[in-house]
Structure formats: structure tokens, C-alpha cells
Structure 1
Amino acid sequence: MSGAASYLARRAAQKERVRILYRRALKDTLNWAVHRHLFYPDADALRERFDANKNVEDIETIDRMIADGESQYNKWRHPDPYIVPWAPGGSKFTRNPEPPAGIEIVYNYGREDH
């Protein structure tokens, strides 16, 4: 029983690694092809590459293919990926941060108290 459990655990880990690799590669494809009409053919080609190997059953072959895919992904990653402007690392992230504690901001816009 222990052999079957370890086999299933390893297969589950492999499936998770493939899922993560596919999602990362798909998101990185969008960095290379800015417009959707350019992105869709690239996304289809990526999906075909993953689907071509979905029936492989040998665990060692799958591990080798995942390692090759991850190394290829790291080799061809976009050097300047798109970051959503308000996300960490984006151009608008903390553009207007909260004032530090102890500083009072008075919004009277030049009107004097009488």
C-alpha cells in the first residue's frame, strides 16, 4: 500500500508542477504578445505543446519533461514583464501613501478660521 500511496502523491505533485508551469507560461506569453489577436495563436500553440504530452505515464519521463519545460520557461521569460499599475512593483503602487502617524492634514484650502 505504501508504494501506491507514494506513487499517487508523486503524480499529484507532478500535476501541480505542470499546472503552475502552464499558467506561468501562458501569462508570460501575454507579456510577449501585447494585443489579443497576437496572443491567441501563441496561447493555442502553447496548449498544443502541453496536450501533446498529456498521455505520458512514465514518472521519470514526466519529471524530466517538467524540468526541461521549467528550464525553457526560465530561459525565455520576458525581461520586462507587464505589471498591473496598482500591484506591487507597478507604476501607481503607493503613489499616494497614507500619511505617517502623528501628522495632521488640514483641508481648509487657505481659508482662515474666524
Structure 2
Amino acid sequence: MSASAAGYLARRSAQKERVRILYRRALKDTLNWAVHRHLFYKDADELRAKFDANKHVEDLDTIDRLINDAEATFHKFQHPDPYIVPWAPGGSKFCRNPAPPQGIEIVYDYGKEDKD
């Protein structure tokens, strides 16, 4: 395999990875905009159609331009207040009950009180 073929394959592989990541991020962001599943399914189909429209483009420079335009559009229309799972970092229940400060000992006796 020549150096130019290896370079082509490496660049094409990187483009495929960028498209995959962009599609997944856009699909997850669609969940933030659609409050009901029937709305999400419609929006997800439209998103998939946008990606499939350029599926057969072969020119590497055109593909890079399309990816850059799609990433810019994604960042422009990204949801300002995305849904975060409550117990995940940034969620409303994350570290709700933090560990006690150093020097405080908690004894779990659960009914085994001293009988003096």
C-alpha cells in the first residue's frame, strides 16, 4: 500500500469517526428538545435523513466542509438547558448526601444500645 493510500484511509477513518460522534451528540440533544417520544421519533427521523443525504459524497475536502458546517449548526442550536440524569455529575441529586467531615465518627448500632 502506498503512502497516499494510507493517508487517504487515515483521513477517511477520522472523518467517519467525527460523523459518528456528531450524529450521536445531535441525537442525544434531540431528546432535550422533544418532551414526548412521538415527537422525538419524528425529529430523529429528520436528523437521520439529513445525515443520509450526504452519505455518498466521496470528495474528502467536501466531506470536511460538510462536517464543519454540521458541527457549527449543532453548536448553534444546542439546547441551553440539557437534561442531566439526577444522580450524574451536575444532576440535582449528585452528592446530595456528601460524606461527613473529617474527625466525625458515625456509629451504626441499630438498636444495640448499651444496657447500663
Alignment of 1:11 onto 2:12: yes
Give secondary structure in 2 for the equivalent of 1:21.
helix
Which digits, 9 at most, give the CA deviation of each residue in 1:59-83, with x for residues without a partner?
Answer: 0000000000000000000000000
Give ranges in structure 2 of 5+ residues lacking alignment: none
Find the residue that maps to 1:98 and give its secondary structure. Answer: coil
User: What percent of counterpart residues are identical?
Assistant: 76
Structure 1 residue 14 displacement after superposition: 0.2
Letter in 2 for 1:40: Y
Paired position in structure 1 for 2:31? 30
User: Following TM superposition, where does structure 1 have runs of at least 4 consecutive aligned residues deviating by more than 4 angstroms?
Assistant: none
> Whole-Å Cα distance in 1 between the matches of residues 39 and 78 of structure 2?
17
Quote the residue 2:75 is aligned against: 74
| d(CA) in 2 for partners of 1:56, 1:100 | 59
The residue aligned with 2:107 is: 106
- Alignment partners' CA distance in 1, 2:44 and 2:113: 62
Q: Hey, what does 2:59 align to over in structure 1?
A: 58
Q: How many residues align?
A: 114
Alignment of 1:73-92 (within 5 A): 73-92=74-93
Letter in 2 for 1:59: L
CA deviation after TM superposition for structure 1 residue 41, in Å: 0.2
Instruction: Give the TM-score, by structure 2 length.
Output: 0.91
Which residue in the other structure is 1:40 paired with?
A: 41
Q: For 1:14-65, what per-residue CA distance to the aligned partner results, in whole angstroms no more than 9, with x for missing partners?
A: 0000000000000000000021011000000000000111100000000000
Unaligned stretches of 5+ residues in structure 1: none
Deviation at 1:103, TM superposition (A): 1.8
Amino acid at match of 1:58: D
Q: Could you state the TM-score of these two structures normalised by the residue count of structure 1?
A: 0.92
Distance 2:81 2:26 in 1: 15
